[in-house]
Amino acid sequence: MKHALLFSVFVVASCGLAYELIAGALASYLLGDSVTQFSTVIGAYLFAMGIGSWLSRYVESRLVERFIQVELLVGVLGGFSAAGLFFLFTWSSAPFRVALYLAVCAIGVLVGLEIPLIMRILRQDLVFKDLVSQVLTFDYLGALAVSILFPVLLVPHLGLMRSALLFGLLNVAVALWAWWLFRAQLARGGLLRVQGLIALFALLGAFAAAGVLTSLAEVHLYTDEIVHAETSPYQRIVVTRWKDDLRLHLNNNLQFSSRDEYRYHEALVHPGLSALPRARRVLVLGGGDGLALREILKYPQVDSVVLVDLDPAMTRLFATAPPLRRLNGDALRSPRVTVVNDDALQWLERNDELFDFVVVDFPDPSNFAIGKLYSSAFYRLLEKHLAGDALAVIQSTSPLYARQAFWCIVTTIESVGLIATPYHALVPSFGEWGFVLAGRRPYHPPQAFAVDTRFLTAETAEAMFDFPKDMTRVEAEVNRLNNQVLVRYFEQEWRQVIR
């Protein structure tokens, strides 16, 4: 019995940390700014656990029965937490934060009750020093196990909703196991068994239907028909369609609309590449959808393109799905293209190749993981891969809606000794959007574009380098790895736009 209860400590510790990680990841997916979300969720959760531990002093009798009831409550509340919060967000994002922290605190209080109750149940079999050391050892081992399994196995293969339901099932299993071990001592054993079985079958049913539940939630989250949805180790990928308009969403953020993406990608590629008639080798960082590749491959002088994108799920999807292959012109299957699935910064550190043109097409710097790819350290590394007259182009968020963030990127590029030439273009799905050309020599725009375009002409391109008064330069700090000021600028400015 002692060993069974110690193993229960391992299980409940795993479940307790899992609910904390799931809440933080869900908040990060839906609200952005992962550092803030994880920090506040973890802080609230630990505080609630402290309250639960303090409240355990008032549980004076029927300890096993109370432990079983706590396990059932944790299993049901924690197990259904991800599904409930996700559905709430799709219905209305306004009460989501309140519900998130209420759920975190409620689960935290219950988890805080678990270990003190187990220790008091075990104290009749163990002396105090052995009791504390063994319980805490199993507690920490359980936390270690789930911290490794969560990003490597659980989220990529089960997703957040099924992961939460799985750990809910484990809590209920512990409750039913405790009921079996102590059934002869329980005054209300029959009722506890019925409650446990109801919780078990409810969680099993939800686990089996999790795919349907996720689809139902996303139908309300996205107004258009969902034609593809998957969770990779790095992000939630959703493709929607309305009539002839395909849209890509990553972690609930729109990445492109097929109706106007050509404006963005022509503006991203052609001002720089058309000014380099002798460019042979091109590097694309990000851009796993292949749309920038489509524009680059219009240039017959380009011999080879290396595309480095972190997520193999993205490049696989856009290389295999027929509608998306048509959209990118089957660029990811071109013999001139080499696809590498790797972290861009680490790939640059390991390679010493030089390129004539580099496209940096990362998502906006909404969190610190992406913000490092807009830092002075990254641009210093990027500069080492530029051939003599080479240019790099960096997508740089909106100079209208995130003005200080945009000019922070310009300032950061200049801080490493590169000459920055900013410009902007109107993309209806996003509004005014900004780009920066970077090189060792002043940029001279081409007199004409040598390839077919739907949007750009020499005349319209010239106007892109002129900034109206509400988008002109403002003071901004350099974005360094140790301050990540760009993420703060970006969050503050876009928060005002959303309001």
Could you read off the pLDDT of 440-484 as tens digits, one per residue?
Answer: 999 988 888 889 999 999 888 889 999 999 999 999 999 998 888
- Which residue range is the domain that position 233 belongs to? 223-255
476 shares a domain with 342? yes
289 shares a domain with 381? yes
Instruction: Kindly list the strands in the beta sheet with 386-395, ordered across the sheet, starting from the edge strand earlier in the chain.
Output: 337-340, 304-308, 281-286, 355-361, 386-395, 431-439, 419-427
Which are the contacts of 456, defined by CB distance < 8 A and separation ≥ 6? Answer: 266, 267, 270, 271, 449
Burial 234-260 (b: 16+ CB within 10 A, else e): bbbbbbbeeeeebbbbbbbeebbbbeb
pLDDT attached to residue 195: 92
CATH number at residue 397: 3.40.50.150
Which are the contacts of 350, defined by CB distance < 8 A and separation ≥ 6? Answer: none
191 shares a domain with 277? no
12 shares a domain with 150? yes
Q: What is the per-residue pLDDT across 227-240, written as a single tens digit (0 to 9) for each?
A: 898 888 788 899 99
Has residue 39 got a pLDDT over 60?
Answer: yes
Q: What is the per-residue pLDDT across 239-282, written as a single tens digit (0 to 9) for each?
A: 999 888 999 998 878 899 999 999 999 999 999 999 999 999 99
Q: Locate tokens 């309300």: which residue?
A: 220
Grade residue 218 by pLDDT with cuts at 50, 70 and 90.
Answer: low
Q: What is the per-residue pLDDT across 77-113, written as a single tens digit (0 to 9) for each?
A: 999 998 888 888 876 666 888 899 999 999 999 988 8
Q: What is the per-residue pLDDT across 300-338, written as a single tens digit (0 to 9) for each?
A: 999 999 999 999 999 999 999 999 999 999 999 999 999
382 shares a domain with 297? yes
Grade residue 220 by pLDDT with cuts at 50, 70 and 90.
Answer: low
81 shares a domain with 124? yes
40: region left, alpha or beta (phi > 0 left; psi from -120 to 50 alpha): alpha
361 carries an active-site annotation: yes
Rounded CA separation 11/81 (Å): 18
pLDDT attached to residue 5: 61
Six token digits for residue 272: 């720089």
442: region left, alpha or beta (phi > 0 left; psi from -120 to 50 alpha): beta
Six token digits for residue 299: 């240039």
Has residue 35 got a pLDDT over 80?
Answer: no
pLDDT attached to residue 63: 86
Q: How many structural domains compose the chain?
A: 3
Task: Please name which of 47, 184, 56, 185 lies closest in space to residue 118, comparing C-alpha atoms.
Answer: 56
309 shares a domain with 228? no
pLDDT attached to residue 33: 61
- Provide the mean pLDDT of the chain: 88
25 shares a domain with 134? yes
417 shares a domain with 440? yes
CATH number at residue 72: 1.20.1250.20
Examine the fold and report which residue of 158, 189, 218 is the final residue of a domain before the chain moves on: 218
401 shares a domain with 454? yes
268 shares a domain with 230? no
**Which of 361, 364, 389, 466 is labelled catalytic?**
361
First and final C-alpha spacing in the chain: 57
416 shares a domain with 341? yes
Task: Please name which of 262, 292, 257 lies closest in space to residue 456, comparing C-alpha atoms.
Answer: 262
